Structure 1
């Protein structure tokens, strides 16, 4: 693997013990993943349900260990969680008793940032995600989209090199989701972070990704990595109606179509067994 990659997955596999009859049963979630992510790249990963997308992100985050292969970050093997990686999940995971500012400051407290610097940095990142004026609101006083903005600000505030995002907009309505996609691209351009973004949505993958890695049905393998060329992602431009967008969308849909059919067949077989 090239040493210039920010993240390198080298023949990564993950096997889980399967629940069911027979002590020897195992579930292979990922098999032989080879993938490089360049510094500053926005890589999107798509695949059928149950193909191991979230498992891949957990391994990159250091929340789980691969059964085989290894993951390198800046040439060093990932062996556990670290402050060089920020994680944003589908569920906001905000502390309900803390304000928006208090939630953003939470990660900074753990890293020993002095109180005055914590407050200033939290305000800076809330402003970056468009939440100036909402610093003193608690999560229950914020919309779903605003809560996810707080979660993004919290992950960015301690300045990780890499942002790992597991379907962060899946629970939002379509209009809010598209608005946050534009917001995320603006933040990405501003910060230059390396982003690995998991999604089920083909449109979302094409709109956000500089490249889209398509996984097979379980066990997840890299089927193809598709470069996306839409020119500058300008929120004012209607990129989703562009012919290039439709072409990329069709290419990824075609790659996924057979895999989704295989995954559905597998589910039916398991239900009968």
Structure 2
């Protein structure tokens, strides 16, 4: 579903040589797959997401969605940022309807779809609330619902839970996995948290310090823990340790 082929991204510098943010990155993400991306600060994680979102262009290489070249933003991709990016003058339902308006969906169908998405993220009772009346976790649920409302093939998430408290963060992680299993949307999720990456991802792509490269992609195969928390399982601890070992030198290099 997502094809990243030999992508390099450079930025001009005020003085001296240009800055290389990403260098020769390649990554394939299959349809319906949930992939998490971790790396040290400044390694180009958000730059890569912006490229896939079509918000900026690569210096070299090829980007595709469903086999088609990415030439700019499109409704085949939903994006959720760390900042909630909701319209403060719109209610939760009206925020969710926004993408459907852009897509030209009739008003009645927009409202029906928005109500379905509110139910999906557990906010039916807050349909007519404005962003300032919602908690941070609720606002992020609205942002996710808005991105999913027009049924994008891909959901791109840039550290969406970084500003939330630990309890809300864990609750939203569980909610996101449930939504992903119900919708089958392809997800690329950026995080600084190794634990979050292992908990959410079917695969974890580990990036090097700048210039960002893919150091390794780790397959995550956790046993079904039933009603228990997989984060307490020995396999989970092993994956977290292995990924930290991959990141350790990169974090030191980026300081």
TM-score interval for Structure 1 and Structure 2 normalised by the shorter chain: over 0.9
Secondary structure of 2:90's counterpart equals coil
Out of 34, 46, 53, the position equivalent to 1:61 is 53
Q: Does structure 2 conserve the Cα–Cα contact (< 8 Å) formed by 1:15 and 1:27?
A: yes
Out of 148, 152, 156, the position equivalent to 1:160 is 152
CA deviations 1:70-102 (Å, max 9, x no partner) are 111111111111110000000000000110001
CA distance in structure 1 between the aligned counterparts of 2:104 and 2:31, rounded to whole angstroms: 27
Return 5+ residue gaps in structure 2 as ranges: none
Out of 6, 9, 16, the position equivalent to 1:11 is 6
Matches within 5 A, 1:167-182: 167-182=159-174
CA distance in structure 2 between the aligned counterparts of 1:75 and 1:117, rounded to whole angstroms: 30
- 1:231 CA displacement: 3.3
CA deviations 1:33-70 (Å, max 9, x no partner) are 01100110000000000000000000000001100101
Q: Does structure 2 conserve the Cα–Cα contact (< 8 Å) formed by 1:185 and 1:233?
A: no
CA distance in structure 1 between the aligned counterparts of 2:43 and 2:176, rounded to whole angstroms: 25
Q: Partner of 1:190 in structure 2?
A: 182
Q: Partner of 1:141 in structure 2?
A: 133
Superposition CA RMSD, Å: 1.0
CA deviations 1:190-209 (Å, max 9, x no partner) are 00000000000000000000
CA deviations 1:177-226 (Å, max 9, x no partner) are 00000000000000000000000000000000000000000000000000
Aligned residue pairs: how many?
255
CA deviations 1:246-268 (Å, max 9, x no partner) are 0000010000000000001xxxx
Please list every run of at least 4 consecutive aligned residues from structure 1 whose deviation after the TM superposition is greater than 4 angstroms: none
Q: Partner of 1:203 in structure 2?
A: 195
Return 5+ residue gaps in structure 1 as ranges: 1-5, 265-273
CA distance in structure 2 between the aligned counterparts of 1:209 and 1:224, rounded to whole angstroms: 14
CA distance in structure 2 between the aligned counterparts of 1:87 and 1:260, rounded to whole angstroms: 27
Secondary structure of 1:31's counterpart equals strand
Out of 237, 241, 252, the position equivalent to 1:261 is 252
Q: Does 1:106 align with 2:101?
A: no
